[in-house]
Amino acid sequence: MKTRAFGFAVAALLPVLSASAADLPSRMEAPPAYIPPPPMFTWTGFYAGLNLGGGWLDRDRGNWLFTGGASNTAGVIGGAQIGYNYQFTPLFVAGLEADLQGSSVGGGGWGRSVDWFGTVRGRAGVSLLNTQLLVYGTGGFAYGDLRINNWFGAQTRTATGWTAGGGLEYAFLPNWSAKVEYLYTNLGANYGPLYAGPFIVSDSQQRAHLNAVRAGVNYRFNWLLAPPGPPMAAY
């Protein structure tokens, strides 16, 4: 009889004890604040920069009366570039670049000289080993000042042609990158017939084959990038 009465007493006290326990302050710690991961690096964006290097012309192979001797004299080149990259996948990047260069490449006497030139090129590359290292190829349209020095004086034309090359570019800061590249540029212009006393030398098409090796630095602007992620309150 006593056992049954004790059981009834415990059963009656259980709801009271449960309610009292619910009123006690919780000892659970607050969840840690969400810290978003750092943004992934991307090559996407507009950029602008400067470059400096050297170049040389392949040996002349034109009419000797018009072009004179060899003009493989090396010189300094330097200028600026602008462009846009788009990163299609974590590995593949493509874009467009335009540059304008001053040049001292070419012979000061006989032969060809290129005083300035520019290019408009496509670029395509892959991020190998490191997302911040881009290995790329490039090619497109080229134009420039082609000067021919010969017995009859100097003649200058604005030449057009093509260019191709490749290089490496490394992003050493989120918005800054440095590059080294090689470009081969083939420029040609029509000079028409040359009159020299009783002689007429018809050597209308003259070309210059310019090799350039240059280093440069680019600053990438954060325009037209992907929109930012949701705010912290959404997590």
pLDDT of residue 189: 84
Domain range summary for the chain, segments of one domain joined by +: 45-220
What pLDDT was estimated at residue 222?
78
Q: What is the model's pTM?
A: 0.73
Dmax (CA) of the chain: 146
Closest CA to 107 of 61, 147, 53, 79: 147
* Eight-state DSSP code of residue 60: P
Q: Under CATH, to which class is 45-220 assigned? A: mainly beta
pLDDT at 201: 56
CA distances from 54 to 29, 48, 51 (A): 65, 20, 10
Contact 230, 218 (CB under 8 A): no
List, for the chain, all residue ranges whose pLDDT scores fall below the cut of 70.
1-30, 34, 36-38, 60-72, 108-109, 150-152, 192-204, 223-235
Say what the pLDDT of residue 165 is. Answer: 98
